């Protein structure tokens, strides 16, 4: 009887560890660095070989008798709350791809800051899509509707799977310069969670509605009005003379309530590129993410001064 009880407790603890927790986990200070593990697979190969489901919400388990490892540098930060519970990792190789790695913790930039190099051990995790956008996580089935997607990796597992090594090197994180037209026309597999700088860009003061720019009330000309707790990102149109796309901002970002820059401000905007499509009837669209308000670069200094923002 005691043996049966112990087995049940062990199973329960194991399930709790690997299930997709919705609780916040605040990482402790003091980061233990590991040693680089050589890559055995690329992000492109990972997607091709293991992301086999074709739906817009999927989670395919990564199983192999060999250790599967990718290496890259962290290009994201969550210090202003717009990047939440994930890191973006870019391979430092010619034509290297980027990958979103979902982690069930807030404040994870204390462990994986911009410029931190990491080895990611992929075995027993899941590669899949949330809204047609590839990401790495654990298997998660949403209780409400059974929708499957890669869930955020619990922090105790993430510490074993995402190994930081060396000292952070923020200067090594250099965005690719692209126009909006180039982003929209590029093969989508090359763009997921890529860090890009768009030059001579400006905010039009419009929102977005089913893939089309939409007029919004003057009071809503801020980055992200509240959604009543629903939590979906708010889209605001930008242009650069070659095309139009949107920047999507969380209502929980520190700068969510800041007034949008007037269209007279034109300059460099650095973003993480992502994609969202939730059903066959939708064309889908790119959603660009500011890591911090400081990603508004040269040309926006007057705006940043007006909102009393100090670059980190």
The three-class DSSP label of residue 289 is strand
pLDDT of residue 306: 97
- The total domain count for the chain is 2
Same domain, 147 and 180: no
Same domain, 183 and 267: yes
**CATH code for the domain in which residue 37 is found:** 2.40.50
Same domain, 75 and 135: yes
CA distances from 71 to 139, 193, 238 (A): 22, 15, 33
Same domain, 181 and 117: no
Residues of the chain falling short of pLDDT 70: 1-31, 210-211, 312
Same domain, 257 and 162: no
Same domain, 160 and 229: no
Last residue of a domain, one of 146, 171, 196: 171
H or E element at residue 158: helix 155-161
- What are φ and ψ of residue 195, in 5° steps? -90, 125
Same domain, 150 and 225: no
Same domain, 114 and 181: no
How many Å apart are CA 85 and CA 102, to the nearest integer? 6
Query: Residue 8: inside a domain, yes or no?
Result: no
Query: Residue 312: inside a domain, yes or no?
Result: no
How many Å apart are CA 133 and CA 209, to the nearest integer? 20
Same domain, 186 and 284: yes
pLDDT of residue 210: 64
How many Å apart are CA 240 and CA 245, to the nearest integer? 9
Domain of residue 78 covers 20-171
pLDDT of residue 77: 98
Same domain, 29 and 160: yes
pLDDT digits (tens, 9 = 90+) for 229-258: 777 899 999 999 999 999 999 999 999 999
**Which ranges of the chain does DSSP label H, i.e. alpha helix?**
2-18, 43-50, 155-161, 180-185, 301-306
Q: Which two tokens stand for residue 170?
A: 């923020």
Query: Residue 9: inside a domain, yes or no?
Result: no
**CATH code for the domain in which residue 277 is found:** 2.40.50.140
Same domain, 109 and 167: yes
pLDDT of residue 3: 37
Which candidate, 99, 106, 83, 101, places its Cα nearest to that of 233? 83
Last residue of a domain, one of 171, 191, 225: 171
């Amino acid at each position: 009887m005691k043996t049966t009880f112990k087995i049940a407790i062990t199973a329960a603890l194991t399930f709790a560890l690997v299930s997709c927790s919705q609780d916040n986990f605040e990482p402790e200070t003091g980061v233990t660095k590991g040693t680089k593990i050589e890559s055995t697979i690329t992000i492109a190969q990972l997607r091709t070989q293991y992301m086999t489901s074709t739906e817009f919400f999927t989670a395919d388990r990564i199983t192999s008798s060999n250790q599967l490892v990718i290496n890259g540098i962290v290009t994201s930060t969550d210090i202003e709350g717009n990047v939440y519970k994930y890191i973006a990792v870019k391979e430092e190789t010619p034509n290297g791809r980027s990958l979103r790695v979902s982690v069930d913790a807030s404040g994870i930039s204390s462990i994986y800051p911009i410029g931190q190099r990491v080895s990611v051990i992929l075995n027993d995790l899941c590669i899949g899509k949330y809204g047609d956008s590839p990401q790495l996580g654990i298997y998660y089935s949403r209780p409400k509707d059974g929708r499957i997607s890669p869930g955020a990796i619990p922090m105790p597992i993430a510490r074993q799977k995402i190994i930081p090594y060396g000292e952070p090197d923020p200067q090594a994180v250099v965005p690719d310069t692209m126009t909006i037209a180039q982003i929209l026309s590029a093969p989508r597999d090359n763009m997921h969670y890529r860090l890009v700088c768009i030059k001579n860009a400006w905010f039009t003061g419009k929102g977005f509605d089913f893939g089309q720019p939409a007029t919004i009330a003057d009071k809503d000309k801020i980055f992200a009005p509240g959604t009543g707790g629903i939590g979906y990102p708010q889209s605001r149109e930008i242009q650069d003379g070659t095309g139009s796309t949107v920047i999507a901002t969380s209502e929980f970002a520190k700068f969510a309530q800041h007034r949008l820059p007037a269209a007279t401000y034109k300059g460099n905007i650095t973003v993480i590129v992502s994609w969202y499509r939730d059903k066959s009837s939708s064309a889908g669209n790119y959603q660009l993410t500011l890591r911090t308000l400081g990603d508004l670069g040269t040309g926006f200094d007057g705006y940043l001064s007006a909102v009393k923002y100090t670059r980190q």
